[in-house]
């Protein structure tokens, strides 16, 4: 990564890995209370549909254990608990304040016994190999600089034949749509964020991190290099979000 030249944050490409991690922690500690509202509002409610679609693609083949990495306020973990009543779920994030919101919702929906929250780092998952049937990460991989390492960790903790699900925003390459989306990400979204959030810089970061995320083909290649097979991509809402699914090989890979 390039070194930052000035004091002010300009782009995810201009900061070191350590600065990036620090900034991600700060952002998610300060937007906690408004996170769910802004998520639904800024995506016009599509985020709910995207997580539901992700859950619908899951297969629990052995132990019915699901790990939700970078769980945030636990919306995907809750969706999985709702759809698969036999599952047990670990929801992991390195920002405790985000998980506190998730814990509160999980309690409200009566999932406290099935969803356990754990503070931890996606780059060093605190589980032994072959612990989960499915591991998922929704809108989290973009915030992790060492994506290959996070994917290798997710693969390590999966059972053989287990599934890795990555739901992530995408910057469409189609020129007309790209122009409109650029306008939304760089002008409308920061404008709305200024009105609703105490931390509008978080939404500058959101736009910036989406624009700099690898293309679907590049990301699928990163998954392949991490050892996943049968990699699928599902393009959602005109390609602004993608669900990537990879399998851990039956022989462990
Ligand atoms: C955009 S939120 C996504 C939350 C949730 N999965 C969702 O669907 O809304 C990203 C989350 O990733 C977490 N995160 C980023 N890097 C992480 C890491 N290395 N380990 C654990 N959590 C991380 C942040 O703390 C934040 O809660």
DSSP track, 196-223: H-S-THHHHHHHHHHHTSPPHHHHHHHH
Indicate whether 148 belongs to any domain. Answer: yes
With CA atoms as reference, report the closest residue to 76 among 170, 61, 98, 62: 98
Higher pLDDT pick, 147 / 17: 147
Is residue 1 a part of any domain in this protein? Answer: no
Domain-embedded: residue 6: no
Residue 1: band (very low, low, confident or very high) from pLDDT cuts 50, 70, 90:
very low
Q: What average pLDDT does this structure show over 169-179? A: 80
Query: Residue 113 belongs to what domain range?
Result: 12-247
State how many domains the chain has.
1
Any domain includes 88: yes
Residue 43, in any domain of the structure: yes
**Burial label, 24 (beta-carbon count in 10 A; 0-12, 13-18, 19+):** buried
Quote the pTM value: 0.92
Residue 178 vs residues 61, 113, 222: alpha-carbon distances, Å: 39, 44, 24
Is residue 5 in a domain?
Answer: no
- Ligand 1 — pocket residues by CB below 6 A? 24, 28, 39, 70-72, 75-76, 93-95, 98, 121-123, 138-140, 143-144
* Residue 183: partners with Cβ closer than 8 Å, 6 or more residues away: none
User: Residue 21's domain is classified under what CATH number?
Assistant: 3.40.50.150
pLDDT score, position 9: 54
Q: Are strands 132-138 and 158-169 parallel, antiparallel or unpaired?
A: parallel
**98-139 confidence digits (pLDDT tens):** 999 999 999 999 999 999 999 999 999 999 999 999 999 999
Residue 134 lies in a domain: yes
Specify the pLDDT at position 197: 67
Contacts with 81 (C-beta within 8 Å, 6 or more apart), sequence order: 87, 89, 106, 109, 111, 114, 115
The answer to the question of residue 2 being in a domain is no
| pLDDT tens track for 187-196 | 887 777 777 6
- Higher local confidence (pLDDT), 143 or 39: 143
Give, using CA atoms, the residue closest to atom 13 of ligand 1: 70
Tokens (6 digits) for 102? 């998730």
């Amino acid at each position: 990564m390039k070194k930052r030249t000035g004091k002010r944050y300009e782009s995810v490409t201009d900061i070191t890995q350590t600065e990036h991690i620090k900034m991600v922690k700060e952002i998610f500690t300060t937007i906690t209370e408004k996170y769910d509202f802004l998520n639904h509002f800024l995506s016009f409610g599509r985020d709910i549909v995207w997580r539901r679609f992700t859950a619908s693609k899951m297969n629990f083949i052995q132990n019915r254990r699901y790990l939700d990495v970078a769980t945030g306020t636990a919306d995907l973990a809750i969706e999985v608990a709702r759809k698969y009543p036999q599952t047990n779920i670990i929801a992991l994030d390195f920002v405790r304040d985000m998980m506190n919101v998730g814990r509160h919702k999980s309690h409200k929906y009566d999932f406290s016994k099935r969803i356990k929250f754990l503070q931890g780092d996606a780059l060093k998952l605190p589980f032994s190999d072959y612990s989960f049937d499915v591991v998922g990460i929704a809108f989290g991989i973009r915030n992790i600089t060492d994506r290959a390492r996070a994917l290798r960790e997710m693969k390590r903790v999966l059972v053989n034949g287990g599934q890795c699900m990555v739901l992530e925003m995408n910057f469409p390459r189609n020129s007309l749509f790209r122009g409109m989306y650029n306008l939304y990400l760089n002008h409308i979204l920061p404008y709305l964020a200024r009105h609703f959030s105490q931390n509008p810089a978080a939404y500058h970061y959101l736009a910036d991190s989406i624009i700099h995320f690898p293309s679907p083909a590049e990301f699928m290649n990163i998954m392949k290099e991490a050892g996943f097979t049968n990699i699928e991509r599902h393009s959602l809402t005109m390609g602004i979000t993608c669900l990537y699914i990879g399998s851990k090989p039956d022989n462990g890979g």
